[in-house]
Structure 1
Amino acid sequence: MFEQQPEDLRLYVQQLATEAIQKSEPSSWFEVLYASAKGDTTQIPWAKLAPHPYLQDWLSTHEPFASGQKALIIGCGLGDDAEALAKLGFQVTAFDISPTAVAWCQERFPDSTVNYVIADLLAIPSQWHLAFDFVFECRNIQALPLSVRSSVISSIASVVALSGILLIITRIRETENEPSGPPWPLSNSELAQFEKLGLHQVEHILLLESEQTDVKQVRIEYQRRNLAKYST
């Protein structure tokens, strides 16, 4: 998510992330980045001002959805993915740890039905446990260091409802060795944690990030089995 950005912006992001880790506040740098952008979307590396194309592709092959299903957008950024789901009839909650990002979303979409809230992926509200029929996680895990990865994965898995779907877009790495970052791509063993937490892998698609790079990323669809369906 950083190679295609200007070099000075990429280095600035790495500096912010490093400083946050040194302070034992690995997710605090997001607010610093959003605040320092001062409303300039070009200073947010992942801001495309449109829904993620791999999310749009998935949605186009899985419609129609039951109206009123609850959806959660993790690390909502500037809100485009959340708005795309709302237009399909989802009751959308979208959160970001950055108050500036959440305010930015509300400013961009003043008439939105999306519930934009400030929340921390490492401290998920208890009322979100098993609460969402569809959960979208795009490149938030990879933006956090390996020291908190297990906790992050557990938090994400915990919000998926019975029979609910989790859709993930992330970079992956070939080895279990710790990579340099950010971002820190996910390993196979890290992805396997989702299945250990009760999510069944439905689809796994390998994607190239762009024609200019050989960076590997995946889109994975998981579903939480409703064990009640199989009980006697």
Structure 2
Amino acid sequence: MTDPDFAERRARAREKLDAIDPHKRAGGVAADPQRREWFEAVYELAGDDAAGVPWAGLASHPVLAQWLEGRSLQDFRVLDVGCGLGDNAEALAAAGARVTAFDLVPRAVEWAVRRFPQSAVNYRAADLFHAPREWRGAFDLVHELYTLQALPDALLPDAARALASFVAPGGMLLVISRARDEGQEIAGPPWPLTRAQIEALAVGGLVLSSLERIAGSETTAPHWRAEFVRDDRG
């Protein structure tokens, strides 16, 4: 990242965004249960400065980048969930995949298209909980990074079923999230996931095939990287 004050601008933006996030206050879940209004506000207030988008790193996420090293996704049909400004979708496409990437906020999708005008990625505005019917069972790989940890606990079962519904027979769901221990109190959002919450994503015919806890550092939090495969045996 070449902009030397990016981190400072991001910190200032995060303070403003936390101040308007209803989920930081009592009763906020009822006010904006799916956090749609807050996500829309993030992109509106950011203007054209990616530092105003807390999850925009202007590069593919390092945990995804590590997973992609030496891996070919040639001709895989891939769905990138909550694509934001498009960096992860572009990394998946660079690995050979035919990528559909969606975000709840149309402004995010428009921004991604402007950033990558020559991209082969099919960027779409869509709602995880009301996704296009043609996406059901349509993808060899579904990639989800940070969407789940941005949702209140009550929405996680519905989100898990939605993610599972996209996975084709023999396909995979790849989930990357910040990690926390059972019983660890978090003043979210975001709400890093516990091991039990990750394991609970094995619904709709999905089976957990790999779960890694990736250690944090001075600058990064611990993360989960989980792979689920569709079990077609029964």
TM-score (norm 1): 0.86
Amino acid at match of 2:159: V
Task: Tell me what 1:26 maps to.
Answer: 34
Deviation of 1:127 after TM superposition, in Å, equals: 1.4
Deviation of 1:92 after TM superposition, in Å, equals: 0.6
Deviation of 1:169 after TM superposition, in Å, equals: 0.9
After superposition, residues 8-157 of structure 1 pair within 5 angstroms as 8-18=12-22, 21-28=29-36, 29-61=38-70, 63-65=71-73, 67-157=74-164
Deviation of 1:22 after TM superposition, in Å, equals: 4.0
**What SS does the aligned partner of 1:110 have?**
coil
Describe the superposition over 1:176-226 as per-residue Cα deviations: whole angstroms up to 9, x where unpaired. Answer: 67743111122333222222432222222111343246x432111121123
User: More deviation in 119-128 or 9-18?
Assistant: 9-18
Distance 1:210 1:46, change over 3 A: farther
Describe the superposition over 1:107-141 as per-residue Cα deviations: whole angstroms up to 9, x where unpaired. Answer: 11111111100011122222111111011111110
**What SS does the aligned partner of 1:122 have?**
helix
C-alpha contact 1:150 1:190 (8 A) present in aligned 2: no
Distance 1:124 1:17, change over 3 A: farther
Deviation of 1:34 after TM superposition, in Å, equals: 0.7
The match for 2:201 among 194, 200, 209 is 194
Q: Which runs of 4+ in 1 moved over 4 A?
A: 4-7
**What SS does the aligned partner of 1:36 have?**
helix
Cα distance in 2 for residues equivalent to 1:13 and 1:150: 26
Alpha-carbon RMSD across the aligned residues, in angstroms, is 2.2
Describe the superposition over 1:65-110 as per-residue Cα deviations: whole angstroms up to 9, x where unpaired. Answer: 3x32210000001101111121222111000011110000111111
**What SS does the aligned partner of 1:194 have?**
coil
Cα distance in 2 for residues equivalent to 1:107 and 1:91: 19
Aligned length: 222
Deviation of 1:161 after TM superposition, in Å, equals: 1.1
Amino acid at match of 2:29: I
**What SS does the aligned partner of 1:105 have?**
helix
**What SS does the aligned partner of 2:21 have?**
helix
Deviation of 1:9 after TM superposition, in Å, equals: 2.9
After superposition, residues 210-225 of structure 1 pair within 5 angstroms as 210-212=217-219, 215-225=221-231
C-alpha contact 1:14 1:181 (8 A) present in aligned 2: no
TM-score (norm 2): 0.85
C-alpha contact 2:136 2:165 (8 A) present in aligned 1: yes
Deviation of 1:25 after TM superposition, in Å, equals: 3.9
Gaps of 5+ in 2: 1-6
C-alpha contact 2:42 2:53 (8 A) present in aligned 1: yes
